[in-house]
Amino acid sequence: MLKLSTMLPIGLLVFSSASFAQFVDPGSEPIELNVAEVSELVGDDTIMLKGNIIQQTSDDDYIFQDSSGAMAIEIAREKFADITVTPEDEVLIIAEADVDVFEVTVEAEELQLVSK
């Protein structure tokens, strides 16, 4: 008969490996878009934008710009983590685009500094 001291590590190994399992939907990868293309979305999507944050308009609201134009984007303060971003810095934003009847709203999920 197996002792408790033998069964416990085996049980922990079995259950701990299951906790790391995850399902990745093939369509869940961010779609790389520019500002002009965001307005053409027909459904909610995870998107990736590369450009500059040029202005803060309120606590969590900013103007983002790339070579195709500018748009409003919501970026929570904690998404900036320990980085400082100026209008001259290029950033990569992974965001959720929410398509409504009259507009597309974009909320940042992740913010990365590309170049200073």
Backbone angles phi, psi at 90, to 5 degrees: -85, 135
Instruction: Tokens 């049980």: give the residue.
Output: 11
Instruction: List, for residues 100-114, the tens digit of each pLDDT value.
Output: 888 899 999 999 999
Q: In the chain, how many domains are there?
A: 1
Instruction: List, for residues 39-75, the tens digit of each pLDDT value.
Output: 888 888 999 999 999 999 999 999 999 999 999 999 9
Q: Is residue 60 part of a domain?
A: yes
Say what the pLDDT of residue 101 is: 84
Whole-model pTM: value is 0.74
For the chain, what is the radius of gyration of the CA atoms?
Answer: 21
Q: How confident is the model at residue 93 (pLDDT cuts 50, 70, 90)?
A: very high
Q: Is residue 8 part of a domain?
A: no
Task: State the burial class of residue 15 (Cβ atoms within 10 Å of its Cβ: 0-12, 13-18, 19+).
Answer: exposed
With contact defined as beta carbons under 8 Å apart, do 110 and 50 qualify?
A: no
Q: Is residue 6 part of a domain?
A: no
Q: Which domain holds residue 111?
A: 25-115
Helices (H), 2-103: 4-18, 35-38
